[in-house]
Amino acid sequence: MTMDVKLSLEQEVLLNSVRGILERHRLTNPFPGPSSGDYAALLALRENGFLDILQSGGSAVEVVLVIEAAAAFAPGAPVGAQSLVGPLVTLSSLGDIVGLAESRRGSLTRFACDASSFLYLDGVDARHFERGQVEVAPVDTRWGFPVGRVTPLEGSTAQPVDAGMLVRTWRIALAAEIGGLMEAATLLASKYVSERFQFGKSIGSLQTVQHRLARAHVASQATKWLARRAAWDLHDDRAAAAAACYASSEASGVLASVQQVCGAIGFTDEFGLTRFTARLQMLQTELGGPSTHARWLARSRWPVPFE
């Protein structure tokens, strides 16, 4: 099995199609606020067949490309869970919105209040819950997504699902989403610093600004390619953990850089940078955050020798 480390013409067309659809969608549908999911954009993708690529015989790499593109143009849409994780973890119908939840203390589940079903990770086990089988407690947060805490109801009998596949695909989708957000944030910040003049020159001509954005670009490209690589072999634990570890480790640095170079305007809703950075802040904590991914990767790569 070989993998091309470049996009095929068909994959380029796919990316451009997703971008085009979401750009047109944006003309008549403003970005929803941070406490709402972008379900209208999700619907636009569904109506154009971009959420059932796997069911139509497409590859996980192609789904990852859709997740990347959606992160940039519809960052509040729950694309990864719907198009990659759900179809690969269970054959059951999951409804319009799938929540990805885990039993880890303090963890937050995106789109929890609106989800019709949940894929729930509990240590080395995983189950598929219907909405009526869990309690959802909304949590107020400013970080880009509507979130809640999900607790299975006492006595609920739920269908077991493949926990390994859930963790791997969740990590891949997470990395793809982070990569798309990083790239969008870096491009927006680059445009701004090129047009912002202080002391008689563009601040984008200053090397300290350039280097922060160039490093952010390196992080975004590495994250995207790690996610694509992991999607190419869905059974490769290490590839998925490496993608999530790198993505979540680099997210905070990219966030800090793009916000810093844009100054105070970067905080404003009007400018739009926080559309990406607030979500980076949230996503870097998912599935336990960088340290959890790193420890998983280390244990997978250097298992305790059998004695």
Which residues would be at the binding site for other proteins (CB under 8 A)?
4-6, 186-187, 190, 193-194, 201-202, 204-205, 207, 209-211, 213-215, 217-218, 221-223, 225-226, 229, 238-239, 241-243, 245-246, 249, 290-291, 293-299, 301-302, 304-305
Least distance between other proteins and beta carbon 87 (Å): 25
Least distance between other proteins and beta carbon 280 (Å): 17
Least distance between other proteins and beta carbon 294 (Å): 3
Quick one: 153 or 298, whose CB is closer to other proteins?
298
Quick one: 46 or 215, whose CB is closer to other proteins?
215
Quick one: 142 or 211, whose CB is closer to other proteins?
211
Of 86, 69, 95, the closest CA to residue 120 belongs to: 86
Least distance between other proteins and beta carbon 4 (Å): 7
Least distance between other proteins and beta carbon 214 (Å): 4
For the chain, the C-alpha Rg in angstroms (whole number) is 19
Quick one: 88 or 294, whose CB is closer to other proteins?
294
Quick one: 131 or 196, whose CB is closer to other proteins?
196
Least distance between other proteins and beta carbon 198 (Å): 13
Least distance between other proteins and beta carbon 292 (Å): 9
> Interhelix angle for 60-73 vs 9-28, to 10°?
30
Quick one: 31 or 225, whose CB is closer to other proteins?
225
What's the CA angle centered on 243, arms 235 and 211, to 5 degrees?
160
Quick one: 24 or 201, whose CB is closer to other proteins?
201
